[in-house]
Structure 1
Amino acid sequence: MLKRQLGVTLIETIVFIVVVSIALGALLRVFQQASIDSVDPVVKTKALEVAQATLDEILSRKFADNTPTGGVPACNPCSAIGVGPGFNDVGDYNGYTNNSDPNFRISVSVTDAGGDLGIAANNARLVTVTVDYIDSNPLRSAGRGRLSLSAYRVNF
C-alpha cells in the first residue's frame, strides 16, 4: 500500500511565488499612480482659492473712480475702464497680472458688459480672473492647467 504524501512540491512553491510577485507588482503600480495623482486636487484647490481671493478683492472696490463711497447714488456718467492710481475701483484691474508665485500666475480682465444683463453697456462690468497653474509634482512631468472665475459688478 502506498503512503499518501502531504506537502507542497518545489514546482508548486515556485509557481506560487511567481504568481504572487506578479500580482503584488501590479498592485504596487496602482498605489504609486494613486499617490502621484493625490497632489492634483490640492493644486487645483489652491488655484481656486487664489482666484477667489483675487476676485473678492476686486469686487470689494468701487464701480468707477467717480462712484461715491458706498455706491449710492450710482455714478452717471462713470469713468472708463483703465488702470488708475492705487487700484481703487474695478476698472483699474483691467490688464492686472501677478506673477509673484511662479506656480500660480494671475491675470485679470475687466470689460463693460451691461448688454449681457439687459442694461446700458457701461452700467455693468464683467470681471474675469484667470489663474494659470503648474503642477510641479516631481514624480511626473509638470502638468499645466487654467482656471477662470467671472463675476459681474453692477453700477447700483
Structure 2
Amino acid sequence: MLIKTRGFTLIESVIAIVILAIAMLTITTMLVPSVQRSAEPQYQVRAAALAETLFNQILSRSFDENSAHDGGLERCGETGTLACTAISSFGPDGAEGTPATDPDSGLLYYDFNDVDDYGAADGNSIVYRPDCNGVNCRELNYLVSDPDGTYENFTVAITVTYEQDNILKKIQLEIAAADHGPYIFSAFRGNY
C-alpha cells in the first residue's frame, strides 16, 4: 500500500517567502533609522566634551596679542597701550602656527598665546581635523594633544570675531562627527 505524504506546494512556498520578505523589510526599515539615531546622543556627548576641552584651553589665553599674557594690568585698546589686533590680522602670529614639541611628553601642540590665534583673519574659521595639513586646515590632535585618536572622526571649525570692538571676542566652535552634527558652541572672552 502506497502512503501519500503531503508537503508544501511551490505556490505555498513562494507565498511564505513573499510574506517573510515583507515582514523583514518592515522590520528593517523601522530598525535601521533607530540604530542610526541611537548613536546621536553618543556623538552629542563627545562633541560637548571636546568643546569643553577646547574652551578651557582657549579661554585661558589672553584676550589679545597686545595685552599682557600673564594676566597683568596692560589691556589693549586702553589709553597709553597698544591698540587691539584688527580682525583682519586674526590668526596665529609668527611661528605660532607651527607645532611645538612638549619636552615632557614629546607630543606636538600649537603654542597659541591669545584667543584670536585659534581663528582666521576677517572672522573666517580655521578647520581642525585629524591628519590635516593645509592653508585653512590644521591638525586637531595638536590642538587637543590626542595621540590616541579619541576624536578621529571629528572636525572642528573655530571662528573668532569681535562681539564688541576692543572689549569682547566671540569664539564659536562648529563640531561635526562623521554623519552627525554640526554641533555649535559659543563662548565669549572679555578684555580684562
Match of 1:122 among 136, 143, 166: 166
SS of residue paired to 1:152:
strand
Match of 2:186 among 140, 143, 150: 150
Contact 1:62 1:89 in 2 (8 A): yes
Contact 1:55 1:149 in 2 (8 A): no
Give, in whole Å, the separation in 1 of the partners of 2:190 and 2:61: 12
Moved over 4 A (4+): 24-33
Match of residue 68 from structure 1: 68
Quote how far apart the aligned CAs of 1:109 are: 0.9
Match of residue 83 from structure 1: 92
Aligned length: 125
- After TM superposition, list the pairs within 5 Å mapping 1:1-156 onto structure 2: 30=30, 33-77=33-77, 78-80=83-85, 81-84=90-93, 85=96, 86-95=111-120, 96-100=126-130, 101=151, 103-114=153-164, 121-135=165-179, 144-156=180-192
Quote how far apart the aligned CAs of 1:50 are: 1.4
RMSD: 3.0
Q: Identify if the C-alpha distance between structure 1 residues 108 and 79 changes in structure 2 by more than 3 Å, giving closer, same or farther.
A: same
Contact 2:76 2:166 in 1 (8 A): no
TM-score, length-normalised on structure 1?
Answer: 0.63
Quote how far apart the aligned CAs of 1:66 are: 3.0
Structure 2 unpaired stretches of 5+ = 1-15, 78-82, 97-110, 121-125, 131-150
Pick 1 or 2: higher relative contact order, CA cutoff 8 A, min separation 6. 1
Letter in 2 for 1:112: Y
Quote how far apart the aligned CAs of 1:152 are: 0.9
Q: What's the CA shift string for 1:8-36, capped at 9, x where partnerless?
A: xxxxxxxxxx9xx8xx8667875665444
Structure 1 unpaired stretches of 5+ = 1-17, 115-120, 136-143
TM-score, length-normalised on structure 2?
Answer: 0.53
Give, in whole Å, the separation in 1 of the partners of 2:36 and 2:117: 40
Contact 2:175 2:182 in 1 (8 A): yes
Rg comparison, structure with higher value: 1
Kindly, what percent of the aligned residue pairs are identical?
24
